[in-house]
C-alpha cells in the first residue's frame, strides 16, 4: 500500500477533528426576528434547517385565534357575538385564563376588555371614563360571568368581551417552543415582546442569560436591573413604564384592576415571573401588577411561584424584592 504523505495525514486529522466537532456541537444556531401582535419577536434556535415558515405560521395561527386587532379572529367573533367554531388555541387560553382568574381572585381577568377599551388601551376607541360609565361597564366584567358549554362561550351579558393581550404573547411563545421541539430542536430561546421560553443552552453551551430592564419611563431596551440564567423555564415581565399616558398630571396605566374598573395606581413598576410555561408566567405577571407588591409576594410564598419585583419606595427610589427561589437563577 502506498504510504501517506505528511500533509495528507494532517489533512485527514483535520477532517476527523472537524467532523467530530460538528457531531458533538450539532448544527449551527439560527435567528429569526420580526413583528407580531404590535411588538417584536426574536427567536434563536439550533437546527440544520431554517424554520422561518414554521415560526411564521404558528404566530399567524395564534393571531387568527386570539388577536382582538384581527377582525377575522375567533376572539373578535366571540366579542361580536357571532357564531364561530372555537379552535384548540382559543380554548386552551380560555382555560388557562379562567384558572389564573380564580387563583388571583380576579386580579387577572380577560373579561376586562370593555374597561381596557374605555381607558383607551384596547382595540376600540376610548369612552368617557367617568364613574357612571365605569360602573356600567363593571356589570359586564367578571370571569365568572361566562363559561364554555362544550361547544361555545356562553355569556350572561352579550356586552361581555374578551381581551387576551396579557396572556396571548406568552401562549404564542409556548406554541413556537412546542413546534421547535417537534422539529427536534433541543436548544432555543423564543422571545415575543419580553415574554420568553428557554430550552437547553445558547451557542456557547451555557444557560440562556435573560435581562430584566430597569423600569425607566419611555426607555425601551434601557439599562438592565438583573440578569437571570434560564434553561427549560419561561419568564414574563409586566410593567407600568412602557404603556401608559399622563392625564392631568396623573399616570394612567394600561393595567386595569377588573374589580374596581380603574387603572392600577401603586408603587409596583414591574413584575417578572418565572414558570414552567410562558402563558402562566405572562398572566401571573399581569395579575401581580394589579395586586401590588405585598399581595403578590404573599401569593408567591403561598403558591411556590418565583418572581422579581421592582417598585418605588416611600422616598421614590427604585427598590427590588423577590421570591425565595429566585436566587437559583443567579450564577
DSSP letter for each residue of 295-313: HHHHHHHHHT-EEEEEEE-
Work out whether 111 is an interface residue with ligand ADP (CB under 6 A): no
Which CB atom, from 122 or from 142, has the smaller least distance to ligand ADP? 122
* Beta carbon of residue 169, minimum distance to Mg ion (angstroms, whole number): 7
Q: How far apart are CA 315 and CA 320, in angstroms?
A: 14
Work out whether 166 is an interface residue with Mg ion (CB under 5 A): yes
Backbone angles phi, psi at 271, to 5 degrees: -125, 125
Residue 109: contacted member of ligand ADP, Mg ion, none (CB under 5 to 8 Å, by partner type): ligand ADP
223 neighbors 215 (Cβ within 8 angstroms): no
Specify the stretch interacting with ligand ADP by CB under 6 A; choose among 9-17, 109-117, 148-156, 307-315: 109-117
Helix axis angle, 165-182 relative to 52-66, nearest 10°? Answer: 150
Q: Enter the DSSP assignment of 104.
A: T
Work out whether 109 is an interface residue with ligand ADP (CB under 6 A): yes
Query: Count residues contacting ligand ADP (CB under 6 A)?
Result: 23
* Beta carbon of residue 170, minimum distance to ligand ADP (angstroms, whole number): 8
Q: Which of residues 238-277 bind ligand ADP (CB under 6 A)?
A: 238-239, 243, 254-256, 258
Q: How far apart are CA 320 and CA 331, in angstroms?
A: 18
109 neighbors 101 (Cβ within 8 angstroms): yes
258 neighbors 112 (Cβ within 8 angstroms): yes
Residue 174: contacted member of ligand ADP, Mg ion, none (CB under 5 to 8 Å, by partner type): none
Work out whether 191 is an interface residue with ligand ADP (CB under 6 A): no
**Which one of 163, 257, 282, 322 is in contact with Mg ion (CB under 5 A)?**
282
Which CB atom, from 142 or from 258, has the smaller least distance to ligand ADP? 258
**Considering just the CA atoms, what is the radius of gyration of the chain in Å?**
23
Work out whether 165 is an interface residue with ligand ADP (CB under 6 A): yes
Which CB atom, from 173 or from 256, has the smaller least distance to ligand ADP? 256
* Diameter of the chain measured on Cα atoms: 97
Q: How far apart are CA 168 and CA 68, in angstroms?
A: 11
Work out whether 172 is an interface residue with ligand ADP (CB under 6 A): no
Q: Which of 75, 59, 56 is nearest to 67 (CA)?
A: 75
The set of cell numbers assigned to 190 is: 423564543
Which CB atom, from 46 or from 270, has the smaller least distance to ligand ADP? 270
Work out whether 116 is an interface residue with ligand ADP (CB under 6 A): yes
Work out whether 284 is an interface residue with ligand ADP (CB under 6 A): no
Helix axis angle, 165-182 relative to 278-291, nearest 10°? Answer: 160
Which CB atom, from 44 or from 141, has the smaller least distance to ligand ADP? 141
- Give the contact letters, 192-211, x = binds to ligand ADP (CB under 6 A), - = no: -xx-----------------
Specify the stretch interacting with Mg ion by CB under 5 A; choose among 33-41, 90-98, 110-118, 164-172: 164-172
Q: Is 7 exposed, middle or buried (0-12, 13-18, 19+ CB in 10 A)?
A: exposed
The sign of the torsion formed by the CA atoms of 213, 226, 199, 88 equals negative
| Binding-site ranges for Mg ion (CB under 5 A) | 166, 238, 282, 285-286
- Contacts with ligand ADP, residue ranges (CB under 6 A): 108-110, 112, 116, 121-122, 163, 165-166, 193-194, 238-239, 243, 254-256, 258, 282, 286, 289-290
Amino acid at each position: 500500500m502506498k504510504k501517506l504523505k505528511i500533509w495528507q495525514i494532517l489533512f485527514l486529522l483535520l477532517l476527523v477533528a472537524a467532523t467530530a466537532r460538528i457531531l458533538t456541537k450539532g448544527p449551527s444556531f439560527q435567528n429569526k426576528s420580526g413583528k407580531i401582535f404590535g411588538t417584536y419577536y426574536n427567536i434563536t434556535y439550533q437546527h440544520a434547517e431554517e424554520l422561518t415558515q414554521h415560526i411564521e405560521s404558528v404566530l399567524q395561527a395564534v393571531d387568527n385565534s386570539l388577536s382582538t386587532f384581527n377582525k377575522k379572529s375567533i376572539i373578535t367573533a366571540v366579542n361580536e357575538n357571532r357564531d364561530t367554531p372555537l379552535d384548540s388555541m382559543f380554548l386552551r387560553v380560555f382555560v388557562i385564563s379562567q384558572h389564573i382568574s380564580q387563583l388571583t381572585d380576579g386580579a387577572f381577568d380577560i373579561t376586562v376588555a370593555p374597561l381596557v377599551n374605555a381607558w383607551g388601551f384596547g382595540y376600540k376607541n376610548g369612552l368617557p371614563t367617568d364613574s357612571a360609565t365605569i360602573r356600567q361597564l363593571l356589570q359586564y366584567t367578571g370571569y365568572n360571568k361566562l363559561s364554555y358549554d362544550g361547544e361555545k362561550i356562553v355569556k350572561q351579558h352579550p356586552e361581555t368581551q374578551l381581551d387576551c393581550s396579557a396572556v396571548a404573547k406568552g401562549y404564542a411563545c409556548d406554541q413556537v417552543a412546542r413546534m421547535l421541539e417537534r422539529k427536534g430542536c433541543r436548544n432555543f430561546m423564543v422571545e415575543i415582546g419580553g415574554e420568553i421560553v428557554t430550552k437547553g443552552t445558547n451557542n456557547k453551551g451555557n444557560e440562556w442569560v435573560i435581562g430584566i430592564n430597569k423600569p425607566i419611563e419611555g426607555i425601551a431596551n434601557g439599562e438592565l436591573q438583573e440578569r437571570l440564567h434560564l434553561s427549560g423555564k419561561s419568564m414574563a415581565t409586566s410593567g407600568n413604564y412602557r404603556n401608559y399616558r399622563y392625564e392631568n398630571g396623573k399616570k394612567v396605566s394600561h393595567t386595569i384592576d377588573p374589580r374596581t374598573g380603574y387603572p392600577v395606581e401603586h408603587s409596583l413598576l414591574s413584575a417578572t415571573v418565572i414558570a414552567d410555561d410562558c402563558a402562566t408566567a405572562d398572566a401571573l405577571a399581569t395579575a401581580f401588577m394589579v395586586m401590588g407588591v405585598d399581595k403578590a409576594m404573599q401569593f408567591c410564598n403561598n403558591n411556590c411561584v418565583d418572581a422579581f419585583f421592582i417598585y418605588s419606595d416611600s422616598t421614590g427610589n427604585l427598590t427590588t424584592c423577590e421570591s425565595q427561589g429566585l436566587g437559583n437563577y443567579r450564577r
